[in-house]
Amino acid sequence: MTGVSTSCLYPMETERALGVLLGQGYRCFEVFLNSFREMERPFLRELKAMGEGYGARFVSVHPFTSAMESMLLFGEYGRRVEEGYDLYARFMEAAAYLGAGHVVVHGQLQGHGSLEDEAYWERFGELYRRGDAAGAWPAQENVRRHRGADPAFLAGMKAYLGPSCGFVLDVKQCRMSGFSIEAVSAAMGDKLKHVHLSDCRGEEACLLPGAGDFDLAGFARHLRGMGYGGAVVTEVYRDGFGGEEELGWSRVQVERAFAGTM
């Protein structure tokens, strides 16, 4: 299943971005929730109705608080961490309401705080257990300059937490962090739950799929070889493309490349 993140059109309002992407033919979505109001039921009801009107589905939620997770979830002040768990439980509840299974977690910046690896993994495991009650679960992304960028850290996390973890593979983050897609995805293994797709050309690490020289079909085969059957969503920055119609063109390129594999 292939789709797109509403973050591709940031800072366009989330509901407007969803409308544009539906109009470009997408039917599978990651939703980037950009404010506290967007976690409230009336707003989520509006998004859900928009998707249902087109027969679309939501697969993940991306919190606007990602940049604060070093403090909110992995910091040294216990009371704030508890509040962070409560906040991310709300994101997971929002995801579950939309029918999405996962909430993307960036985690802690490298060099921030004093948590040992096992303490970090324990924190993530507690957040994952909160997901059991919410009906959606956190998924650690391999974001550059964060602890989760390193395949060795991800492999350790998987071994330590067992079933109580999940991962997001972001191919542009692999490019920008210097770790290969093969190494990162191997570390995630069967706990890979979600994929962020982009293209590249030379020094340009984040283009719309189809606009660069990344082997989309080869990547599709790689995921299939891993046994991955989840969603692959386009996630690029707004300055990486021109008009909105380019998103529709890219959708066709991805669907062709992944035809019969997902």
What tens digit of pLDDT does each residue of 12-26 get? 999 999 999 999 999
Dihedral sign for Cα atoms in the order 152, 157, 162, 168: negative
Please say if the pLDDT value at position 186 is more than 60: yes
In the predicted model, what is the mean pLDDT of residues 29-41?
A: 98
Two tokens, residue 72: 């909110």
Two tokens, residue 258: 């992944």
Does the structural domain 2-258 have CATH classification 3.20.20.150?
Answer: yes
In the predicted model, what is the mean pLDDT of residues 126-147?
A: 97
